[in-house]
Structure 1
């Protein structure tokens, strides 16, 4: 393909994303106020619980079969490597630039999670439609490309909502830090109410505090009783820990650090359902295809899924209004994120995929190899904006990062696509 043709192919989806971002920004302006704080919150919940699961599950059910999922085993490994390598580079970046702690999760997540689905759903079919495409017949290329990108999108969604979600949650969960400080608060026991506790403290914590101090008469007596209790506990000989006790302690410590509930998000559940529908032949025949008796369910999921990308992009654009007024993203931090996503990761990814191809893990399918390579050079995943909106932390900074990374993608993604396409052709 000519460089100019490829440039236009890669530029169009990025420009579409930027234009929708501008629309979201305009809708958030106070004079219009269609996407204000409340509206963004509700729209974000619709994306999280409805649109994104419908897109992921529906695409998988349509395109993935038992045969294809076995032959493409290296793709989950490849995407996992992009997350691991990107996280390492992102962690080094926040240390070098001395990024504020509450933004560590956002920066690491932006370096780790790439847009392995929504952007490729536009780029790959466009590349296949070119007359001189190196990937063969147009129809075959488009069908195979849709299946590969759908699997990439589903796997990426699992990693984002289990790995990146927990990283941003860990650094942005301010309530957890407040609860930790609660043990140092001096509680007034002369009344029946517990002061200085905010609404985000759990009911269990409140009950434990009430049961501990409901009989005390004044702060001095409470303090002396706690001191005597601590001395008594120190005098009790420690019991020998069993292996089961140690395992239980480690699991409890792990559950405190990682939000295990988010391993089964709506998107993850939809991925499992989509895989089961696609892999199990009797169910597939019932729901997938022009003559399937239950095809209306697949059609409904596809219709809902089409709203995912526009809705997510509008939210990012609306959040950008705050970022234009004030943002914690410095110049050097932004340059660092761009360098990680468009320089370091593509170079490392090139070596990873070539090594995998050399030992026979990948095969000789040029389109498959191209998608594996391009996964290292895409901008950050739009779902990061959804996560920051859920936690209400780093929303404006996330929008600034998205604006610059997607703006630079018009050049960087085009150049890397040109190089990778010539490499596999």
Structure 2
């Protein structure tokens, strides 16, 4: 009977997510067009720049103290483990399915980066309300659960925009170059083609500016150096400097420090500075109206996020040329292999003594291994114009199957921590 209660407690939140996602899906249909592409874009901007930061900052400010920081240190490390293991699983999917080069970064990103913020923001508070929940008082569960998820969202955004962003960027370059070459060859007349053969022989595939910007091919065109009284060491150090400069130039710090990440820093500052915390947090705080206003704005994040997720799935109905074996491989990697490995990772961390006996915190760490791919991967594919339709199909299937996978894994995780 206890297992049945846990199953009901875990299925109800997922069902709520599914219903709101279905509503967003319906509103985004062309026949309804209430949540069309332009409307989703504007709503997504409001969520990205206003709702999410307010939710992250308010929840972290309420719960972060020096004592809680000792307990939360493992979460960024755990998220890094999910990215590493997911990347290894994605590499296996690549070896089995042999996808086109322009989809390799997309597949790796879908296997590595999970929805570490948006979906848990809906699931955790809903689980806390259920009677069969093993996490104690609903109010305390919701407060601390949202704080854990807010930190997960902020750290996940850093990993996503620093790792997956560059994966998709690197894999999209060949497809873009091939498209440009094909377009130029189609536009040329036969006479122009014949007269430009010699020019094609001597013209580089990359312009000089693009060649210097791509650090991956610099070593292939470097003249071999000869050892003359320590000059080899100087050349090696200059190569290292060039590599570091290339990496730093390719990192988009504006995306890396997204509004949610900045809000997390603000929330940590409010919670950890005693003078600011006393002024803003608590029923008798003189500036509590600021905290209450931020919390009120942040409450709009959860329904808006879920509607956007449902609306974005409409693009997957149009289909693409992606093979189903790739979708099946991503589904197995994210919903079978990764959660199974995650159970052993968290079990090992508990045996070593890295985790306290907090069922809710342990549950949040476990659920980070079982969520579907991050929706922001679709935004990244739009930025580079490569794999957009394929990404939509992947998101459609993974989020449709998430209702089953998340229910089963949530039930199992609650049974473990209880």
Instruction: Identify the TM-score tier after normalising by the shorter chain.
Output: 0.7 to 0.9
Unaligned segments of structure 1, at least 5 residues: 186-203, 209-233
Distance verdict in 2 for CA 1:328–1:313, change over 3 Å: farther
Bigger drift between 359-368 and 291-300 goes to 291-300
Report the Cα distance in structure 1 between the residues aligned to 2:267 and 2:174, rounded to whole angstroms. 35
Size of the alignment, in residue pairs?
A: 379
Tell me, yes or no, if the aligned pair for 2:366 and 2:413 is still in contact at 8 Å: yes
> 1:331: Cα distance to partner?
1.7
Tell me, yes or no, if the aligned pair for 1:158 and 1:267 is still in contact at 8 Å: no
| Equivalent position of 1:411 in the other structure | 404
- Spell out, residue by residue over 1:75-107, the C-alpha distance to the aligned partner (whole angstroms, 9 max, x if none): 211111011111221132133212233333332
3-state secondary structure, aligned to 2:118: coil
Tell me, yes or no, if the aligned pair for 2:6 and 2:133 is still in contact at 8 Å: no
| Equivalent position of 2:391 in the other structure | 398
| Equivalent position of 1:211 in the other structure | none
> 1:72: Cα distance to partner?
2.1
Report the Cα distance in structure 1 between the residues aligned to 2:172 and 2:308, rounded to whole angstroms. 19
3-state secondary structure, aligned to 1:289: coil
Report the Cα distance in structure 2 between the residues aligned to 1:46 and 1:341, rounded to whole angstroms. 29
Check if 1:324 corresponds to 2:317: yes
| Equivalent position of 2:272 in the other structure | 279
Check if 1:268 corresponds to 2:261: yes
Check if 1:162 corresponds to 2:155: no
Tell me, yes or no, if the aligned pair for 1:14 and 1:407 is still in contact at 8 Å: no
Report the Cα distance in structure 2 between the residues aligned to 1:171 and 1:44, rounded to whole angstroms. 26
| Equivalent position of 1:380 in the other structure | 373
Report the Cα distance in structure 1 between the residues aligned to 2:14 and 2:178, rounded to whole angstroms. 41
Give the greater-gyration-radius structure (CA): 1
Match of 2:358 among 354, 365, 369: 365
- Spell out, residue by residue over 1:307-348, the C-alpha distance to the aligned partner (whole angstroms, 9 max, x if none): 334434444433433321222443211211111111101111
Distance verdict in 2 for CA 1:87–1:304, change over 3 Å: farther
Report the Cα distance in structure 1 between the residues aligned to 2:60 and 2:300, rounded to whole angstroms. 17
> 1:150: Cα distance to partner?
2.9
Check if 1:151 corresponds to 2:144: no
Q: TM-score, normalised by structure 2?
A: 0.77
Tell me, yes or no, if the aligned pair for 2:316 and 2:389 is still in contact at 8 Å: yes
Check if 1:333 corresponds to 2:349: no
| Equivalent position of 1:305 in the other structure | 298
Distance verdict in 2 for CA 1:279–1:173, change over 3 Å: farther
- Spell out, residue by residue over 1:60-80, the C-alpha distance to the aligned partner (whole angstroms, 9 max, x if none): 222222220122211211111
| Equivalent position of 1:295 in the other structure | 288
| Equivalent position of 1:15 in the other structure | 15
Report the Cα distance in structure 1 between the residues aligned to 2:383 and 2:60, rounded to whole angstroms. 26
Distance verdict in 2 for CA 1:284–1:348, change over 3 Å: same
Tell me, yes or no, if the aligned pair for 1:319 and 1:396 is still in contact at 8 Å: no
Tell me, yes or no, if the aligned pair for 2:145 and 2:360 is still in contact at 8 Å: yes
3-state secondary structure, aligned to 1:119: helix
- Spell out, residue by residue over 1:169-192, the C-alpha distance to the aligned partner (whole angstroms, 9 max, x if none): 3334689858998xx99xxxxxxx
Report the Cα distance in structure 2 between the residues aligned to 1:52 and 1:372, rounded to whole angstroms. 20
| Equivalent position of 2:193 in the other structure | none
> 1:238: Cα distance to partner?
12
Q: TM-score, normalised by structure 1?
A: 0.76
Report the Cα distance in structure 2 between the residues aligned to 1:307 and 1:34, rounded to whole angstroms. 18
| Equivalent position of 1:347 in the other structure | 340
CA RMSD, 1 decimal:
3.6
Check if 1:95 corresponds to 2:107: no
| Equivalent position of 2:110 in the other structure | 110
Check if 1:68 corresponds to 2:68: yes
Check if 1:250 corresponds to 2:243: yes
| Equivalent position of 2:192 in the other structure | none
> 1:242: Cα distance to partner?
6.2
Bigger drift between 85-94 and 306-315 goes to 306-315
Report the Cα distance in structure 2 between the residues aligned to 1:294 and 1:244, rounded to whole angstroms. 54
- Spell out, residue by residue over 1:144-196, the C-alpha distance to the aligned partner (whole angstroms, 9 max, x if none): 33333333233223322332333333334689858998xx99xxxxxxxxxxx
Report the Cα distance in structure 1 between the residues aligned to 2:147 and 2:128, rounded to whole angstroms. 13
